Amino acid sequence: MKQIAPRIYVTPQMPTVLQDCLLTCLTTAQKRVEQFFGTQQAKPVIIAGHNIETIRYFGAPNARTGLTHLAITGAYIVLEPEGINSDVLAHELCHAELLERIGWCSRTFQLPAWFDEGLAMLVDYRFPHAEEEWHILTHNGTYAPDLQSLSTNREFFSNPHHTYLNYLTARHEVKQWYQERGQAGLLAFCRCMAAGNSFKYCYCQK
């Protein structure tokens, strides 16, 4: 891998224009996450490839676009060329930021997948009609997936045919929560989780 900036690595075969795009898109995504949280505290390592093999090697065999490894040592974002855009980067940076703020133990053992993904969807602008789609696909919530069934990554991503609806459902729930509490409520939630409290307790606090 070739380092093109602090904590940013790309495959040597990546065209210069794509490297420049990565740096530009990253700046935009960082500003978006910073505005959402107030500040950006996480400093994830970013690994990007010129083809899909990079994300399969550093990420997961069936991974596409982008993913984030959330480790005790911090976050590691892996991207394929299609993931080199501001939306995917903002989405993955949000995962990294939440990890940084609440800690690895709380993130691993307390945080449900639907909250992690739902929050990341709020800074990911690829789906401008997400709310309308959720209402249509679930008949205004009647057939929405039960959030309790989306608590783990395995449950959230177990069925590829349901994953998009899971994302929409998570976004719908977290968007309502965020609209009620705002940035101050999000930061209070992060502090509450970092203190070792349960997700349910922190999520329901006002």
Q: Residues of the chain whose pLDDT is less than 70?
A: none
Q: Which candidate, 61, 64, 67, 177, places its Cα nearest to that of 118?
A: 177
The amino acid that residue 123 corresponds to is V
List C-alpha distances in Å: 86 to 78, 82, 116, 204: 14, 11, 18, 31
Judged by DSSP in three states, 56 sits in helix
What integer pLDDT is reported at residue 63 of this predicted model? 84
Cα 157 from Cα 155, distance rounded (Å): 6
Cα 182 from Cα 178, distance rounded (Å): 5
What integer pLDDT is reported at residue 6 of this predicted model? 97
pTM (2 d.p.): 0.96
φ and ψ at 59, to 5 degrees? -105, -90
Domain boundaries along the sequence of the chain: 1-102, 103-206
Q: Which candidate, 78, 76, 72, places its Cα nearest to that of 108?
A: 72
Is 20:84 a contact under the CB 8 Å cutoff? no
What integer pLDDT is reported at residue 206 of this predicted model? 75
What integer pLDDT is reported at residue 141 of this predicted model? 95
What integer pLDDT is reported at residue 115 of this predicted model? 98
What integer pLDDT is reported at residue 59 of this predicted model? 84
DSSP 147: G
Cα 166 from Cα 150, distance rounded (Å): 8
Cα 88 from Cα 122, distance rounded (Å): 12
Backbone Cα Rg of the chain:
17
What integer pLDDT is reported at residue 23 of this predicted model? 98
**How do beta strands 66-71 and 45-48 pair?**
unpaired
What are the residues whose beta carbons fall under 8 Å from the beta carbon of 157, sequence distance 6 or more?
163, 166
